Every structure is written in C-alpha cells, then in structure tokens.
C-alpha cells in the first residue's frame, strides 16, 4: 500500500506526468529533477522518492533530503 495518494496530491500538477520517468531514474540510481516553477516538483517529488526508498527492496535504506536554492 502506498504511503501517499499521489493521484490526489499531483492531480492537477504538470510534473505528475513525469512520475514514471522519475521512478525509472531512481531505479538507475540517480535522478536530477529540473522543471519550471509551479509544475509541482516540491509537491510530487518528495513523496515519490520516499516511497522508492522505503518500499523498494532494491533501494538502499536512507533519508530523503530536499534542498532548495535561495538567493
């Protein structure tokens, strides 16, 4: 059972369409996310990564750390 209801969380956010590609990148070991402001990165990416780290037997246990540059 998923930790997060991603259908509800990302329903109207453009980044939600990229979730399958994000999961595939995570399976490869590295994911770099870059998208314009307002697309849903901050809302969608942390739950997807958290589910991957917590629920995938192939994933190394760890923490999800979200950083955001500030000027």
The per-residue pLDDT for 61 is 65
Quickly state the pLDDT bin for 14 (edges 50, 70, 90): very high
Reported pTM: 0.75
15 close to 41: Cβ distance less than 8 angstroms: yes
The per-residue pLDDT for 10 is 83
How far apart (Å, rounded) are the C-alpha atoms in residues 61 and 71?
32
What are 32-66's pLDDT values in tens digits? 899 999 999 989 998 898 888 887 565 556 777 77
Average pLDDT, the chain: 82
The domain ranges of the chain are: 6-55
């Amino acid at each position: 059972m998923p930790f997060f209801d991603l259908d509800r969380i990302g329903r109207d956010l453009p980044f939600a369409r990229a979730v399958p590609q994000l999961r595939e990148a995570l399976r490869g070991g590295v994911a770099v996310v870059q998208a314009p402001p307002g697309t849903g990165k901050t809302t969608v990416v942390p739950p997807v990564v958290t589910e991957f780290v917590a629920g995938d037997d192939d994933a190394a246990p760890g923490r999800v750390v979200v950083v955001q540059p500030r000027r």
